[in-house]
Amino acid sequence: MVKEFSKYLFCYFVGNRPHEERVHFAVSKDGYNFTAVNENKPIIIQTKGKKCCRDPFIFRDNDGVFHIIATDMKSEEGWANNNSMVMWDSVDLVHWTNERIIDFSNFEETKNADRVWAPQVIFDKFKNEYMIYWTHNNADDDLDTIIWYAYTKDFHTFITPPQVLFKPKSGMCAIDADIIEHNGKYYLYEADGEKEAICYCVAERPDGPYYEPASNKVSVADTALEGNCIYRILGTDKFVMIADQFRKGGYFMQETTDLMNFSKVDESRFSLNHLNPRHGSVLYITEQEYELLVNLRF
């Protein structure tokens, strides 16, 4: 039976101290205004790896199982000190099990990784496999911190070795990639190191190659953004992008219908900042899932 999605789940963390580097949830009826789940207390307490996580990405696989994949990192140890991701599974959005660490020092291509950040997942219909993509840096190569990827079928083993997905023409960094498909094209949005703004590139397939237009800045904020997440407002032709104003503080929201030209959403029209969110992700959920989460207390 096809599920009817009508609500939104926002998955995020809240700060740079160890007790803030946890998975939090909030829910929304309209995609603009969000209410904290569990009184904005953590949904998961990590027990493996760094025991702290950032940039949680939540998704539902083709079998209906939920997964969260996140940066396994304790930021108080420094910004170039992690080589792993952490992942959990759930069948109900409440009970999260099978915690595991994906350690990239185990691969020849990334054995000297010192930044493995902001992992996300997209299903590649051309290969019938899941593509995990993330922000990556190796301590021993001449590449900047850019976007890498690898394929998996089961989120335990990789089919392909880690490799570069996107490197800006500038040769500078690109972090926090978020990919969305629209009208047969794949739009990759990233926080661009040269332009200090959210920029986009486009491809015919999830694994590229990605074309980077000369005028590709899409963020309309007056400050630098990172941790961008784009999603469609259900039942409309409008897409919303939310992003972390990491220098200024708080969240910024902008919207579009063509995925290239955005306009600012006034702060009076959305509510996110009361959550104190940092880099997160949005998942469509059903009415039943919404009711379960909005009443959840641990």
Q: How many residues does the chain have?
A: 298
Runs of H (alpha helix) within 129-254? none
User: By the 8 A CB rule, do 132 and 163 touch?
Assistant: no
CA dist 250 and 192 (Å) reads: 19
Q: Which residues contact 77 (CB under 8 A, 6 or more apart)?
A: 50
In the block, residue with structure tokens 């922000």: 135
Helix (H) or strand (E) holding 104: none
The DSSP 8-state label assigned to residue 290 in this structure reads H
Do 114 and 93 meet the contact criterion of CB atoms below 8 Å apart? no
Asked, as a colleague might, if the bond just before 213 is cis with ω within 30 of 0, I would say no
CA distance 215 to 19: 40
Q: What pLDDT tens digit does each residue of the chain (298 aa) get?
A: 468 999 999 999 999 999 999 999 999 999 999 999 999 999 999 999 999 999 999 999 999 999 999 999 999 999 999 999 999 999 999 999 999 999 999 999 999 999 999 999 999 999 999 999 999 999 999 999 999 999 999 999 999 999 999 999 999 999 999 999 999 999 999 999 999 999 999 999 999 999 999 999 999 999 999 999 999 999 999 999 999 999 999 999 999 999 999 999 999 999 999 999 999 999 999 999 999 999 898 8
Rounded to whole angstroms, the Cα distance separating 123 from 51 reads 28
| Cβ neighbours of residue 2 closer than 8 Å, sequence gap 6 or more | none
Q: Is 282 left (phi over 0), alpha (psi -120 to 50) or beta?
A: beta
Residue 104 corresponds to which tokens in the numbers above? 């990239």
Pairing of strands 84-90, 66-72: antiparallel
Enter the tokens of residue 105: 């020092």
**How far, in Å, are 12, 47, 101, 115, 222 from residue 157 at the CA level?**
25, 21, 12, 20, 42
pTM above 0.85, yes or no: yes
Predicted pLDDT of residue 165: 98
Question: To 5 degrees, how large is the angle CA 67–CA 110–CA 185?
Answer: 55
Q: Environment class of residue 1 by beta-carbon count within 10 Å: exposed (0-12), middle (13-18) or buried (19+)?
A: exposed
DSSP state of 210: P
Residue 2's pLDDT is 63
Amino acid 298: pLDDT: 83
